[in-house]
Structure 1
Amino acid sequence: MNKIIIQGCDITTREELYNVFHQQLGLEKLYFENLDTLRDGLMWHVPVPITVEWTHYTVCRYALGAYADQVLNVFYEVQEQLEELFTFRLKF
């Protein structure tokens, strides 16, 4: 099983978050146009099974505001849809 870690303490802009998704998940820029395309990218273009761990979420939330919560909800939706193929862990 693949595992990636999103280091929230290193993310201060949406672009930095997108770069992490691109580097660690292999998602192209077209998947960052909106939250729907991000959801599609995570569901259909990320090799599974995979575990995604987002550390220092509160630091990232402070920098990105409500957008961090929206991305968080996308991760939970994908986890619900893909069940055991996509595991998401949040660490504050």
Structure 2
Amino acid sequence: MDHVEALAGAKNAGPGQVAPAWLLAQHPSIVPIPGTRRIEQVEENAAATHVALSADERADPDAAAGRPGVHGDRYGETHMGLAGR
């Protein structure tokens, strides 16, 4: 998270703009769809399209996305028995 905040500061953007900017930089067919409740958030999300990230700036979030650290089963024991039916 510290990297995201530092990157946002360097780009004169908010931390909430870095994630959509990173997604937009991945591939033209990837379109982030952030949830929002207020017009200010819509404006902040839209401004993320103006945050350009270089390959070096995308490197750390790319690495972090590759190591999610997910542990455990997706479902509990009862529901695992129902999966795949």
Task: Using structure 2 for the length normalisation, give the TM-score.
Answer: 0.28
Bigger Rg, structure 1 or 2: 2
The structure with the greater share of residues assigned to helix is 1
Task: Using structure 1 for the length normalisation, give the TM-score.
Answer: 0.27
The structure with the greater share of residues assigned to strand is 1
